[in-house]
A and B are shown apart, each in its own frame.
Chain A
């Protein structure tokens, strides 16, 4: 596991099988995904532990992550399978904990599970 942005939180997983393009497909006021072709279409990422493979699209998407945090519509934490600079810098700007997990761990995380994330802990992800 790689820790990109440190932090501690707990919450309920919202998992996407698709990469997320934060610029243009996340409504900044509500945190709702507006891309009809996305598997999280019409769902809000607000206050979730957002689990998704990786970010895609313009690096300006990092500002979107910063905006949703300022509007209180951001996830509590993000967990990805692959590191990408847009999500990494976006979470760093917004101070949202971000970790990269192994493929095996990624598979084991499912929507609805309640977990605790603590990047200082030896075992950062624990199921509650």
Chain B
């Protein structure tokens, strides 16, 4: 990798230990991904926030570096483990809460915007076309590359943090104009949000860096997010383009068999004890749609809704919150279905969700069974 004089000097430790560590991370990542140089980035989005995932080692590390580390570019943050407004309803132990708050404080000390959201593309203004960013959250990286005309690697928690501190990132294939060597032919008629989640999960499994997807019509926001969330869960693929791609592209079909295989892999229960909506978190548009679908109806069981804090506040002002709570919804800001400590296999056997990403982590990390349904099916079956 070619480094500038200034980058070399930082790597040698001439700009302090934090800079040296950050550049060590960028160089190690860059060499591992065959990048020839570092380039400036304008926005970093960090993962590695939830105490449930980073544990004591992560908490101690962040607490240590926050004494000296400061971010150089706009930096936003993935969800944490709970919503402080209603955490007392969920029987989390005090240790979890204090460690999570320590993590929050460390990030804030470093100058990070405490957005606690996995949908930065929906709650922040999108920079101009072609802007280089560093997004560690997989669904956000895929959304940025595929829908927002931004460019990012599928960063790790560490490379994104190093990018935030230095304002640089390795120049690897996803940042360049590449053309995918694989085209997925979507063969399912009348797809819904769940179908798109499964298509994404399939694409993540078969794709490498990027894929083409053909045979897809107009998609609503919910379906776009489901596609990105599913894709980020199953592999390293971090970009898709709509269309047939080059004639020489390898072709793979996503038909009933492929879809049923994924459904069988992730759907392990006939019904759920509770419902979760949001992984990725819901934006205002989805909250608004949910509110109108719930007019005169109520959930028959608990329904947890995950969204960013800014969306929760907007929803309250507009009056959606009252409606949703009346219908039996629990609204949680700052956290998400994915890797939530609020759903525990000791008191929940199974969860109904429309999220493929949520399903994967509920099953593999929380150890609960999952009942998959599309959004409209959830409204039809689970409300009265």
- Hey, which bits of chain A sit against chain B, CB under 8 A? 2-6, 28, 58-60, 62-64, 66-67, 70, 83-86, 88-89, 91-93, 95, 98, 100
Contact A93 B32 (CB under 8 A): no
Interface-centre pick from B21, B28, B60, B158 (highest chain A CB count, 10 A):
B28
Q: Give Cα A60 to B54, complex, Å.
A: 6
Tell me the B residues contacting A by CB distance below 8 Å.
11, 21, 24-25, 27-29, 31-33, 48, 53-55, 57-58, 60-61, 156-159
Complex Cα–Cα for A15 and B24 (A): 25
Could you tell me if A89 and B158 are in contact, using CB atoms closer than 8 angstroms? yes
20 contacts between A and B (CB under 8 A): A2-B32, A4-B27, A4-B32, A58-B53, A59-B158, A60-B58, A62-B158, A63-B55, A63-B57, A83-B31, A85-B32, A88-B29, A88-B32, A89-B25, A92-B21, A92-B27, A93-B61, A93-B158, A95-B24, A100-B32
A to B contact number (C-beta, < 8 Å) = 74
Smallest CB–CB gap between A106 and chain B, Å?
A: 16
Q: A59-B158, A85-B159 are in contact. Are A92 and B25 (CB under 8 A)?
A: yes
Contact A85 B156 (CB under 8 A): yes
A62 touching B156 by the CB < 8 A rule? yes
For A28, the chain B residues whose CB sits under 8 A away are 57
By a CB distance below 8 angstroms, the chain A residues around B25 are 89, 92-93
In the complex, which residues of chain A have a beta carbon less than 8 angstroms from the beta carbon of B33? 83, 85
Which one, A70, A83, A84, A95, contacts B21 given CB within 8 A? A95
The main secondary structure of chain B at its interface with chain A is helix
Contact call B156/A59, Cβ cutoff below 8 A: yes
Chain B residues with CB under 8 Å of A86's CB are 156
A84 to chain B, nearest CB (A): 7
**B55–A92 CB distance below 8 A:** no
Tell which of B11, B53, B60, B159 touches A89, judged by Cβ atoms closer than 8 Å. B159
On whether the beta carbons of B31 and A2 are closer than 8 Å, the reply is yes
For the complex, give the distance between the alpha carbons of A98 and B24 in Å: 11
Verify A64–B57 contact, CB threshold 8 A.
Answer: yes
Bound CA span A71–B61, Å: 13
Residue pair A83, B32 in contact (C-beta under 8 Å): yes
Given contacts A4-B32, A84-B32, contact A93 B21 (CB under 8 A): yes
Q: A88-B28, A92-B25 are in contact. Are A67 and B57 (CB under 8 A)?
A: yes
A92 touching B28 by the CB < 8 A rule? yes
User: In the complex the two chains form, is B31's CB within 8 Å of A92's CB?
Assistant: no
Docked Cα-Cα span, A93 to B31, in Å, equals 15
Rounded to whole angstroms, the CA-CA distance of A28 and B60 in the bound complex is 14
A92 to B11, CA, bound (A): 11
Q: What is the chain B residue whose CB lies nearest that of A2? A: B31
Name the residue of chain B whose CB is nearest to the CB of A83: B32
Q: Which chain B residues border A100 with CB–CB below 8 Å?
A: 32
Contact of B29 with A85 in the complex, beta carbons under 8 Å: yes
Given contacts A59-B158, A93-B61, 15 further A-B contacts (CB under 8 A): A6-B11, A28-B57, A60-B48, A60-B55, A66-B57, A70-B60, A85-B29, A88-B28, A88-B31, A89-B25, A92-B24, A92-B25, A92-B28, A93-B24, A95-B24
Chain B: minimal CB distance from A99 (Å): 10
A89 to B156 CA separation, bound complex (whole angstroms) = 9
Q: Which residues of A lie under 8 Å from residue B53 when comparing CB positions?
A: 58, 60
